[in-house]
């Protein structure tokens, strides 16, 4: 797939994600306002010269808060996806390769995690683990590894059964070579698809949990918790509720459009 032959859908996805990423990286740096600074006299100000996107009910700059929130969401989502993908993939390859009790045990564990409602796991962790970030991150990663495990195990089984793997072993190549040169490159397209979907999913999950008050709590700017905070003022200042929600939509839509229907 070369850059010039991207379908319109993929191009749109790429633009959405690039815009979001730019906002997350540059936003907090360009917008020279403290997302936590309250100016109660300016609460729920309309977008204008002083506040480009207006203010919330406590008179905090929406632009600054959204930039920080986007950065937080994307960063946390990326870390979550990586923490799920890397162990999930390695365990999947290992299970396919070793077979026997190691594989049966891991498959059983994966099925058990799948059988458990993921929200329940996160709730449990939130109840026991301290802080805002850690339980959220742990919960999402502990649930997320399963799909990488299942996909990489299934694909690896197929690859290992192919004659070219047998041929490589007969030619004297070791396990490391087979893993590096034969298996991982063939897993990559499927894994990057999964990870892109996973990124969108993680952004949505983080904001959903924060929206119901289980994730990141105010005063930290987070897209979900911002929506919750501003919901009572939805009639006076509908934009303040819609804008954070629109950013979540952009992230999820961007990821899904980028992957598109063709998995590669």
Partner 1 sequence: MDTLAISGLRIEASGMPLVRGVDAVAGPGRPLTLLGETGSGKSLVLGAATGTLPPRLRVTGRVLLDGTDILAAPPRARRGLWGRRLAMLPQEPWLSLDPTMRALGQVAEVYRLIRGLPATKSEEEARGRLAELGLEGAAGLYPFQMSGGMAQRLALAILRASEAPVLFADEPTKGLDADRRDEAGARLRLEADRGRTVVCVTHDVAIARALRGTVAVMLDGEVVEQGPAEAVLDYPAHEYTRRLLDAEPERWPSLPGRAAPRGEVVVSGDGLHRAFGGRPVLRGVDLSVRRGEVVAITGPSGCGKTTLGDLLLGLLAPDAGTVRRLPGVESWRFGKLYQDPPSAFVPHQTMRQALEDLSKRHGVAWNVVAPLLQRLRLSTTLLDRVPAALSGGELQRFALVRVLMLDPVFLLADEPTSRLDPLTQQEVLLLLSELAGERGMGVLIVTHDLELASKLADRTIHLEAGRFASSDVSVSRGRHPTLAEPFGTLTRGQ
Binding site for partner 1 (CB under 8 A): 162-164, 166-168, 170-173, 177, 181-182, 185-186
| CB of 170 vs partner 1, minimal distance in Å | 6
The smaller minimum CB distance to partner 1, of residues 11 and 164, is found at: 164
DSSP string, the chain: --GGG--HHHHHHHHHHHHHHHHHHHHHHHS-S-TT---GGGTTPPS-SSSTT-B-TT--BHHHHHHHHHHHHHHHHHHHHHHHHHHHHHHHHHHHHH-HHHHHHHHHHHHHHHHS-HHHHHHHHHHHS-SSHHHHHHHHHHHHHHHHHHHHHHHHHHHHTSHHHHHHHHTT--HHHIIIIIIHHHHHHHHHHHHHHHHHHHHHHHHHHHHTTSSS-TTS--HHHHHHHHGGGTTT-HHHHHHHHHHHHHHHHHHHHHH-SS--
| CB of 258 vs partner 1, minimal distance in Å | 22
The smaller minimum CB distance to partner 1, of residues 188 and 231, is found at: 188
The smaller minimum CB distance to partner 1, of residues 67 and 96, is found at: 96
The smaller minimum CB distance to partner 1, of residues 111 and 166, is found at: 166
The smaller minimum CB distance to partner 1, of residues 97 and 177, is found at: 177
The smaller minimum CB distance to partner 1, of residues 45 and 182, is found at: 182
Residues 243, 246, 251, 252: is their CA dihedral positive or negative? positive
The smaller minimum CB distance to partner 1, of residues 8 and 176, is found at: 176
| CB of 100 vs partner 1, minimal distance in Å | 16
Partners of 55 in beta bridges: 61
Contacts (Cβ under 8 Å, ≥6 apart) of 128: 135
| CB of 186 vs partner 1, minimal distance in Å | 7
How far apart CA 166 and CA 143 sit, in angstroms, is 34
φ, ψ at 61 (rounded to 5°): -65, 120
| CB of 163 vs partner 1, minimal distance in Å | 5
| CB of 2 vs partner 1, minimal distance in Å | 16
| CB of 152 vs partner 1, minimal distance in Å | 17
């Amino acid at each position: 797939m070369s850059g010039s032959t991207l379908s319109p859908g993929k191009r749109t996805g790429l633009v959405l994600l690039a815009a979001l990423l730019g906002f997350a990286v540059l936003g907090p740096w360009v917008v020279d306002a403290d997302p936590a600074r309250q100016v109660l006299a300016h609460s729920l100000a309309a977008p204008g010269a002083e506040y480009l996107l207006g203010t919330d009910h406590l008179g905090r700059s929406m632009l600054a808060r959204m930039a920080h929130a986007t950065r937080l969401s994307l960063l946390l989502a990326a870390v979550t996806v990586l923490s799920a993908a890397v162990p999930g993939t390695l365990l999947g390859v290992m299970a396919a390769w070793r077979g026997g009790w190691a594989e049966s045990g891991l498959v059983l564990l994966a099925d058990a995690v799948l059988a458990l409602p993921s929200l329940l796991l996160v709730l449990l962790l939130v109840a026991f683990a301290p802080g805002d970030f850690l339980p959220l991150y742990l919960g999402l990663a502990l649930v997320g590894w399963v799909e990488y495990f299942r996909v990489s195990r299934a694909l690896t089984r197929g690859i290992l059964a192919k004659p070219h793997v047998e041929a490589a072993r007969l030619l004297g190549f070791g396990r490391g070579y087979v893993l590096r040169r034969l298996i991982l490159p063939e897993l990559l397209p499927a894994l990057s698809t999964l990870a892109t979907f996973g990124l969108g999913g993680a952004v949505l999950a983080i904001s959903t949990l924060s929206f119901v008050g289980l994730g990141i709590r105010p005063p930290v700017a987070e897209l979900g918790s911002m929506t919750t905070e501003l919901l009572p003022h939805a009639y006076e200042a509908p934009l303040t509720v819609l804008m954070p929600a629109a950013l979540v939509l952009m992230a999820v839509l961007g990821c899904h459009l980028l992957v598109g229907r063709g998995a590669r």
